[in-house]
Structure 1
Amino acid sequence: MKNFVSLLFGLGLLLTHLGAQAQGVMSFEKDGHDFGNVPEGTMATYEFKFKNTGNQPVVIANVQASCGCTTPDWTKTPVLPGKTGIVKAMYSSAGRPGVFNKTVTVTSNAATPSTVLSIKGTVLGKDELKSKLTPAQLAQSPHAKLSTTAHDFGKVEVGQQPVVRLTVQNTGKQDLVMGMLSSTCNCVGYKAAPQPIKPGQSVPVELIYAPRQAGQSMEVVTMSSNDLTGDTKVTLRANVVRDLNAASMVKESGTAVPFK
């Protein structure tokens, strides 16, 4: 009986040991990345790649950035043993010249439940960056050309979010990376984050306008990028009303209606 109890105890320890070993392991290729010099206005993006070297699937529960200027993204599906996944860190350099050093913390069900990854670099203003490049390097830089520099939405109701579609062409010789949008109203944004544009390529880009106040509106939107010649601008106009139906009724009531 004593031997039987000892056998059960030993079996329990073995199962516990095996259970402890049955875990996923996130093995990152590297846990830090230095961007070097980054042109102001671009999104500095890096993908940290990892392999699951354990024996159970790895599921990333969350990735938390150390500041609002860094946006994380990651593989949302379980990463099976032997397979790879990514954790992406995107740093917005618009309006942030100087040195940056940021982290993203990865939380998962892996053997090491929390992993800290870091990104760093130096954001250079375009004038400063120009001074560091030779004429030959400047000639190789990207260049953004818009299909139009103005758009009129016409009559728009407060609360609506109309979309304008522009075409951005890269007439330069390196990838064009579009950055942040800026306007006095802070009411214009990208419908979807634009991807890098190859030399000679033309890509549609959609802007969402979200007016907050009624009246005639004119917004000059600055579209930052790594184009060293300067940022592109587009002017958006709209007649913003509180209620489109009410506005048309008022207009109709003010017109002369012949006797019937």
Structure 2
Amino acid sequence: MKRLFVLMFIVAGWNAQAQQSKPLQFKEEIFDFGTVAEDDGPVTHEFVFTNGTNRPIKIMNVQASCGCTTPGWSKDPVAPGKTGYIQASFNPKGRPGFFNKTLTVTTDLDATPLVLQIKGQVNAAGSSEPSDFQAMNGSWRLKTGSFNLGKVYRKDEFTSRDFQILNSGSKPVTYSGKFTGPSYIKVDVTPKTLAPGAKGNVKISYNGKLKGAYGFQSDNVEIQTDDEINPVKSFSVYATLEDYFEPLKPEELAKAPQLRLGITSLDFGTVSASGATREVTVTNSGKKDLTIRSLQGNCSCVTASATKPTLKPGESSTIKINFKPQDRKGTQQKAVTVYSNDPRNPVQRLTFSAYVD
């Protein structure tokens, strides 16, 4: 019994340590360039971070996974509460197709490196072959049949992404300037008239605050053209929404709410077709009220609810997870994403496994 208690204590310590905030608080650790033209030269992105510790941190080295990516970084020590940057410059020359590169960052604080990621799609120089554009919509060809914007912050501004199109028809296709869609999505096409064999871009702009939701979202837009084959072009628009938090000083972070999950993974065991429910403890270990803003299951078979959405400092409650297998059988791996006002870790994930008879 004593050994069991010691083991439980060690596991709890591991869980607590895993949930501590990162010393370098990045606004994002993955950046998608979208479509990049091979002949337009290098593209660059800066990963901005805040020093969330009480001592200066110096970036010792940034190692790129490929010679096509040139790193840069803040050379001087970054004081507590101040911001620094890691820069990634990717050269698409001679690299058509999908790319996914990493930057390994080491500091004088911790021997464990942090890994940042850039990705995107390089459009081959001078290429207008239909084989590069697999999705058809009338005379338009695209690399995918939908528009995925990736992560979009719930800010009152529009986040934009460009998606390349090719006119594979024998006649010019003109965008009328009109589209049908929700108010939080805007559409533009350049050039307005696309000659046969020519390439252009569809710009999708998305306002996360106007959408007013969290997590993965799916919408639809219809773009009006004079295309004889399919004048009204329908597309799905995907985005993953989360809150944006301004960088905080160490003294502000010390007073902020902090969400701690009792566990981050669990086993439902064997589940019948009628489903099962489990509970996970959630605690506010911060100094201000914690609000659980949304709970999102990763499929229709998973729902979750907070017994008490707002927790005072030091208060604990539970998150109830309901799993209804529906027609699913065998081993299942599912997840619930927790969105809160914890500025250190506003998005946390609970994963669970189950075996359905």
TM-score of the aligned structures, taking structure 1 as reference length: 0.42
Structure of greater relative contact order (alpha carbons < 8 Å, 6+ residues apart) = 1
Larger helix percent: 1
Higher strand share goes to which structure? 2
Length-normalised TM-score, structure 2: 0.31
